[in-house]
Chain A
Amino acid sequence: MQILLQLIVSGIAVGMIYAVIAFGYQLTFATSKTLNFGQGEALMLGALVGLSVVPFTGYWLMLPIVLVFGLMQGSVVETLGVRQAIKTKSEAGWIMATIALGIIFQNLAENIWGRDDLRFPSPLPESPISVGGVNVLPMEVLVVVGALAMMLAVELFNRRSIYGKAVVATSNDRDAAGLMGINTGVVITFSYALSSMAAAFAGVLVAPVTLTGATMGSALGLKAFAVAIIGGLSSGLGVVVGGLILGITETMTGFYVSTGYKDVPGLILLLLVLSFKPSGLFGKATIKKV
């Protein structure tokens, strides 16, 4: 029982890391039906910028700086990579462009911070908390709480503020929103900024638990993509549940089946979801009008 609980707790911690990155995919998909395939790199840049700023400001003061950096980085990605593709209604242009930008960011980071994995100082004590024999790191708790808080904040913003309503309106029907006087171009840029901000925040959140380095984003970004597909790209709740499912199946399979097959059930689930419910477990089925 104790082992099962430990596996679930560790699975949740890993799953929330995936979920918070997947949340970024979901933000841009909602407004523009495009994704930033450089999401993992946005996370990596956030973490590395955070690492460089931390010695001057400490962990908590570093957060707003990283959030602003994320906003700017997202706008850059949208301006350079996505805007043109949307304008010309290109089906694949944004895929290539965001992947290319991701590679450029990774190379940039390698040149600035080197390619070794670095240690990110933990703002919380590094000794585990033990509850009934189940151990968890304080930082893992912070990852879960921080991720949930951030998603909640973004959701509240979308539902309550006038700007958020513009975002929601654009995601519901871009053309209609445009006719209502909403500058949908700005909304899309904003959603990209928001999504990279989420990723950058995720970066500094997970960095003390994972390791920090130019290549930290690629593996996490891919897993998060699977989570976004499983949970559904149109649902905020979906990515949380998807993340938890993937995280917990990974640790459970690792323990009860074999650590060599740890990643397999998650991928099988991904295939099952794609065959039976392509819009994801929590996604709204949409009919594409041609």
Chain B
Amino acid sequence: MILRKIALAFAVTTALSGAAYAADTIKIGLSGPFTGGSSSMGVSMRDGAKLAIEEINKAGGVLGKKLEVVERDDEGKNEVGVQVAQELINKEQVTATVGFINTGVALASQRFYQEAEIPVMNNVATGSIITQQFAPPKEKANYVFRTSANDTIQSAMIVDEAITRQGFKKPAILADSTNYGQLGREDLEKALAAKGVKAVATEKFNIKDTDMTAQLLRAKEAGADVILTYGIGPELAQIANGMAKLGWKVPLVGSWTLSMASYIDNAGPNGDGALMPQTFIQVPNTPKRKAFIEAYQKAYNIERMPSPVSAAQGYDSVYLLAAAIKQAGGTDGKKIREALENLKEKVEGVVTVYDRPYTAADHEAISANIPVFGLVKGGKVVPAHPEDIAGDKAVRFKPKAS
């Protein structure tokens, strides 16, 4: 009898302390590759997100509670991503999750959030299909949101820059053999067709390929005057190095991965001149961006961010989420989703000022007019066309939904 009382008392106290603990913080899951080929993006995203969480907590948290980040390394692998998603949902019981660098990981993991009705913010992955996977009418409500520029936007921008703005006539496409590269190649071909242009050569390469001679010679023989790329840093660097070796240099215009540190560092001087769409370039042209860059440099003691785009988008995703939690008045996933789809507060982020970024039908915060072109120059990404971000164009807004 006494034993039972003690047991009961014990159970009650643990339950109480558990409840008290849960009431103290709001748990935010964070999933990204902190090791592996895409780790420079994953680490920057994480550091950007954590910076935002620190700032929010310093200012008193959300609904009087502190945000607590639960970060897990998904290694850029689909199966690890699935494990991480299940752990964050079932064991950690997160309120929402931010993250995903790799489109494959996002597609494999987010179905668990969808089923659990927990909002998930894709802040770096760009596959066009990500926000469409559970879009109505397939599902009643879509729990997947995004703060990065998707591949449909990027490929159209790449083609626009190369063909319309720079006036190149004979593009060659070089894409890697992964999902990312091949889906991107399809998007590029569609965007070229819309302008009535056909690529003179469409070549493929594998991850870890060290020799690009065959691909480059084919493009050269076809008379290409520009190379459009969809791949990731190390192999893109081998393309730039391969061109230097062949003594043939045409401009590289490609997806945002041309801004990866692994491209810039491994290509060295050969990599200069590459152009890619960027939602954020490490230039302090607004007070918000200046503060963000300085806070990041101070917190992590570095001069150049490994991936400024990932850092900025990670940072913004947390602020959007915090605003939605505040509006929802609690941690119920359904209410947070509804709040995100009808966000009343204007959120000033690094990339843009988010004024009702999402609706029930549109889960993309970044519209085609927001990214600008970055240019690799002297080991850094600088604005390709400074006039694009000058004056009142420094912050570009998503057009209002009509």
Please name the residue on chain B nearest to A251 by beta carbon. Answer: B214
State which of B51-59, B130-138, B203-211 sits at the interface with chain A: B203-211
Q: Is the CB of B215 within 8 A of A254?
A: yes
Q: Is the CB of B37 within 8 A of A116?
A: yes
Q: Is the CB of A259 within 8 A of B39?
A: no
Please encode chain B, from 235 to 259, with 1 for each CB lying within 8 Å of some chain A CB and 0 for all others.
0011000001111000000000000
CB < 8 Å neighbour of A14 from B35, B37, B211, B246: B211
Question: Is A157 in contact with chain B by the CB < 8 A criterion?
Answer: no
Distance between Cα atoms of A218 and B213 in the complex (Å):
21
Please name the residue on chain B nearest to A130 by beta carbon. Answer: B247
Question: Is A110 in contact with chain B by the CB < 8 A criterion?
Answer: yes
Q: Is the CB of B204 within 8 A of A259?
A: yes
Distance between Cα atoms of A13 and B244 in the complex (Å):
16
Distance between Cα atoms of A172 and B219 in the complex (Å):
51
- Given A116-B262, A250-B214, A255-B217; 11 other pairs, CB 8 A cutoff: A3-B217, A6-B213, A116-B40, A117-B266, A128-B244, A130-B247, A218-B208, A252-B214, A258-B204, A259-B203, A262-B206
Question: Is B331 in contact with chain A by the CB < 8 A criterion?
Answer: no
Can you give 13 A-B contacts (C-beta < 8 A)?
A7-B217, A17-B210, A116-B262, A117-B37, A117-B234, A118-B265, A119-B266, A215-B37, A250-B214, A252-B214, A254-B214, A255-B214, A255-B218
Q: Is the CB of B238 within 8 A of A6?
A: no
Task: Please judge, given known A-B contacts A116-B39, A117-B266, A251-B211, whether A211 and B238 are in contact too, CB under 8 Å.
Answer: yes
CB < 8 Å neighbour of B204 from A14, A130, A253, A260: A260
Closest 9 pairs between A and B when the two form their complex, measured CB to CB: A254-B214, A10-B213, A210-B210, A219-B208, A260-B204, A117-B234, A255-B214, A259-B203, A115-B35
Question: Is A209 in contact with chain B by the CB < 8 A criterion?
Answer: yes
Question: Is A126 in contact with chain B by the CB < 8 A criterion?
Answer: yes
Please encode chain A, from 108 to 142, with 1 for each CB lying within 8 Å of some chain B CB and 0 for all others.
00100011111100000011101000011100000
Task: Please judge, given known A-B contacts A14-B210, A135-B246, A215-B208, whether A6 and B217 are in contact too, CB under 8 Å.
Answer: yes
Please name the residue on chain A nearest to B234 by beta carbon. Answer: A117
Q: Is the CB of B246 within 8 A of A259?
A: no
Question: Is B303 in contact with chain A by the CB < 8 A criterion?
Answer: no
Distance between Cα atoms of A206 and B40 in the complex (Å):
24
Residues in A with CB closer than 8 Å to B39 are 114-116
The interface of chain B, by Cβ under 8 A from chain A, is 35-37, 39-40, 177, 203-206, 208, 210-211, 213-215, 217-218, 221, 233-234, 237-238, 244-247, 261-262, 265-266, 268
**Which of A127, A250, A254 has the most chain B CB within a 10 Å cutoff?**
A254
The interface of chain A, by Cβ under 8 A from chain B, is 3, 6-7, 10, 13-14, 17, 110, 114-119, 126-128, 130, 135-137, 206, 209-211, 213, 215-216, 218-220, 250-255, 258-260, 262-263
Distance between Cα atoms of A48 and B168 in the complex (Å):
41
CB < 8 Å neighbour of B210 from A3, A116, A209, A262: A209
Q: Is the CB of B218 within 8 A of A126?
A: no
Residues in B with CB closer than 8 Å to A114 are 35, 39
Q: Is the CB of A263 within 8 A of B210?
A: no
Please name the residue on chain B nearest to A139 by beta carbon. Answer: B245
Task: Please judge, given known A-B contacts A14-B210, A219-B208, A263-B206, whether A211 and B217 are in contact too, CB under 8 Å.
Answer: no
Task: Please judge, given known A-B contacts A119-B268, A135-B247, A260-B204, whether A211 and B213 are in contact too, CB under 8 Å.
Answer: no
**Which of A7, A130, A211 has the most chain B CB within a 10 Å cutoff?**
A211
Residues in A with CB closer than 8 Å to B205 are 259
Task: Please judge, given known A-B contacts A115-B36, A255-B217, A259-B203, whether A10 and B211 are in contact too, CB under 8 Å.
Answer: yes
Q: Is the CB of B265 within 8 A of A3?
A: no
Please name the residue on chain B nearest to A218 by beta carbon. Answer: B208
Distance between Cα atoms of A136 and B237 in the complex (Å):
18
Distance between Cα atoms of A44 and B265 in the complex (Å):
19
Distance between Cα atoms of A213 and B204 in the complex (Å):
23
Task: Please judge, given known A-B contacts A10-B211, A209-B210, A219-B208, whether A260 and B245 are in contact too, CB under 8 Å.
Answer: no
Distance between Cα atoms of A206 and B208 in the complex (Å):
13
CB < 8 Å neighbour of A135 from B177, B203, B245, B268: B245
Residues in B with CB closer than 8 Å to A7 are 213-214, 217
Q: Is the CB of A110 within 8 A of B35?
A: yes
Please name the residue on chain A nearest to B213 by beta carbon. Answer: A10
Residues in B with CB closer than 8 Å to A3 are 217, 221
CB < 8 Å neighbour of A251 from B213, B221, B245, B246: B213
Distance between Cα atoms of A258 and B203 in the complex (Å):
8
- Closest CB of chain B to A103's CB: distance in Å? 14
Please name the residue on chain A nearest to B205 by beta carbon. Answer: A259
CB < 8 Å neighbour of A211 from B234, B245, B246: B234
Residues in A with CB closer than 8 Å to B266 are 117-119, 211
Distance between Cα atoms of A189 and B206 in the complex (Å):
36
- Closest CB of chain A to B203's CB: distance in Å? 4
